[in-house]
Structure 1
Amino acid sequence: MKSIKIVLSFWVFTFAFTAKAAPLLNGIALEKQFNKDIYIAAIYSENLTRDSSTLLDNNIPRRLEVRIITNSLPARRFRNQWMEAIAINNRGDTLSSQAENMVTFANMFKGRFVNGDQLSAEFAADTGSTTISLNSIRLGEIADPNFFNTLLRAWIGSVPPSSDFKDGLLSAGQVSGNLITTFESLTPTSERIADLQLKQINQEEAVAAEEAPTEKPFPTPAIEIADLPPLTLALAETAPAAAISPDAGVIQEGSEVASQSEESASALAEEEIELITVPPEDGPILAAGAADMLEEEEEAPLTADMILARQIYHSSLLRHTYRYIRYPKRAQGRGQEGSVRLNVTINSQGEVLEIQPIQESRFSSLNREAQAAVHRADPYPGVPSQLSTDTYNFSIPITFRLPD
């Protein structure tokens, strides 16, 4: 009997240790664009928490996971959306130091995601490496201990895709049962997995058969995600968040933003981008959010300099827009709040060609004001010649929010 108790105690201890070490579902969030469910994002961690700083602890293993709901999602569109959120939620020096890793990460994405695909980024605390996988098939690894947090801040930083999105991920395990059911039901078919495995084998054989080029712009080979021909996107960039007085309509930015030259292409702000909430005298504020869905267009080969240049240009476009946004008086009086995301296309002279709602609020007055602000801001600063494009797409994420 004693030996049985010893064995049982050892089993209980082992189970408890394993349960503690196993990644736990901290939270999940649904991403909707153009009134359609696109994907569900999840964060796994050893520690369940509602505090974003706890999840940014490099001493614990963590995992980000995305499960695709829509039938077809261009992989580079998804990638560009993520990279925009990365740009707005990370310090300028972080973006500069991670630029080469961003190029490697960006070139893991080709083709299209399909319903049931599971994309993951897993951080190993012991090695500091982040492994990117699709349906458990390894796409690549980035051996930089700071890269994972660069990705993670896009979701739980000061300017997330939406406040609901961030709250869902920071729910400390208290997640919606219906959303979990949908999340767990999203799995790839065996045919899909076999197809990806074959593509990876063919890719590796092709790389091994070729002579190494003298210059290698894309250090990490990427498998084709689906049979459809890969579509490329011009990488769009985001600007720091800003609080705007609904009456005066004057942008009130952080000091690091105000001091940054519109023409500067050498560096981004040195301080971490944070949501500035300086309420006007009568209270209401308007805050900027992040993330967007872009129209597809041809993309020049990505380089670290190109990524940083586009980030700076996009930052100037958003700062320009924020100067023209007003918080509708009637919406203020009725306590109406909401988030709006617009995709804007401009020509090389900065003239607005198209405005397309990505996500709208429940209140028509807020939706109308967001589009009206873009029209008031027309024309925008012209597209820099180094970007070599006749048209440019960028997203404008806006959250109309009243003070607590």
Structure 2
Amino acid sequence: MLKYLRILFYFSLIATPLLAQAVTKVAGIDVSGSCSLDGQSMKLNGAGIRSKYFIKIYVGVLCLEHPAHDPATILAASGAKRMQMNMLYKEVDAEKITEGWTEGFRTNLDKATFSRLEPRLKQFNTLFPALHKGDVVNMDYLPGRGTGLVINGKSLGVIEGEDFFNALLQVWIGRHPADKSLKKGLLGK
């Protein structure tokens, strides 16, 4: 019996680093370096693929200062956060993107919260161009600054308020996510 326990122990020492490295690529996209943000130390919380009708649209990556597997914990946490989209599909026009944000906010927020955030959502929507395969979209929350939108390294604007970023995160990890499989991936499950 002791011999088998030793074998299991040694196997766990070997397997643990392999498991830790297991989530460095998703659909060929390296997600390991997605978490550097203005010198803020963040960690990869999870990643997954957003699909629609079996078509891979993008790889989503969630980075947090303190990784968590529960949406309520993530939304309640203060500190820097990043939601990243690595586009896989050839082109998604701006209208489709902004329709997705609006629908995601509507389905995950109560009417009063949606009404309060709607002007900032409209401002956020005006920042989006069409997205193409290979584009990298970072939506970064920095305390005191708001939600910054950066596409392919170019800053396109900032939307005020942590409440806005948390509403945006609910598009992916809320009660009615855009993609349930992606939600599980972002939560590290």
TM-score range, shorter chain: 0.7 to 0.9
Corresponding residue of 1:65: 84
Structure 1 counterpart of 2:139, from 121, 128, 144: 121
Preserved contact between residue 171 and residue 177 of structure 2 (Cα < 8 Å)? yes
Corresponding residue of 1:93: 112
Corresponding residue of 2:42: 23
CA distance in 2, matches of 1:109, 1:131: 12
Q: Per the alignment, in what secondary structure is the counterpart of residue 78 of structure 1?
A: helix
Structure 1 counterpart of 2:155, from 91, 115, 138: 138
CA distance in 1, matches of 2:162, 2:67: 21
Preserved contact between residue 58 and residue 145 of structure 1 (Cα < 8 Å)? no
1:243-265 deviation per Cα after TM superposition (whole angstroms, max 9, x unaligned): xxxxxxxxxxxxxxxxxxxxxxx
1:149 aligns with 2:180: no
Deviation at 1:82, TM superposition (A): 2.5
Corresponding residue of 1:47: 66
Which amino acid is the alignment partner of residue 99 of structure 1?
E
CA distance in 1, matches of 2:183, 2:131: 23
Corresponding residue of 1:74: 93
CA distance in 1, matches of 2:54, 2:184: 20
In structure 1, runs of 5+ residues without a counterpart are 1-17, 175-404
CA distance in 1, matches of 2:79, 2:67: 12
Q: Per the alignment, in what secondary structure is the counterpart of residue 50 of structure 1?
A: coil
1:38 aligns with 2:57: yes
Which structure dedicates a bigger proportion of its chain to strand?
A: 2
CA distance in 1, matches of 2:48, 2:76: 21
Judged with a 3 Å threshold, the aligned counterparts in structure 2 of structure 1 residues 29 and 79 are, in CA distance, closer, same or farther, namely farther
In structure 2, runs of 5+ residues without a counterpart are 1-35
1:165 aligns with 2:185: no
Aligned-residue Cα RMSD (Å) equals 1.9
Runs of 4+ more than 6 Å apart: none
Preserved contact between residue 50 and residue 179 of structure 2 (Cα < 8 Å)? no
Deviation at 1:128, TM superposition (A): 4.7
Q: Per the alignment, in what secondary structure is the counterpart of residue 157 of structure 2?
A: strand
Give 1:287-366 correspondences, 5 Å limit. none
Which amino acid is the alignment partner of residue 133 of structure 1?
V
What TM-score, normalized by structure 1, do the two folds share? 0.36
What TM-score, normalized by structure 2, do the two folds share? 0.74
Which amino acid is the alignment partner of residue 93 of structure 1?
A
CA distance in 1, matches of 2:150, 2:77: 20
CA distance in 2, matches of 1:23, 1:147: 20
Deviation at 1:23, TM superposition (A): 1.5
Preserved contact between residue 31 and residue 165 of structure 1 (Cα < 8 Å)? yes
Preserved contact between residue 108 and residue 171 of structure 2 (Cα < 8 Å)? yes
Preserved contact between residue 31 and residue 41 of structure 1 (Cα < 8 Å)? yes
1:105 aligns with 2:124: yes
Which structure dedicates a bigger proportion of its chain to helix?
A: 2
| Larger RCO (CA under 8 A, 6+ residues apart) | 2
Give 1:270-281 correspondences, 5 Å limit. none
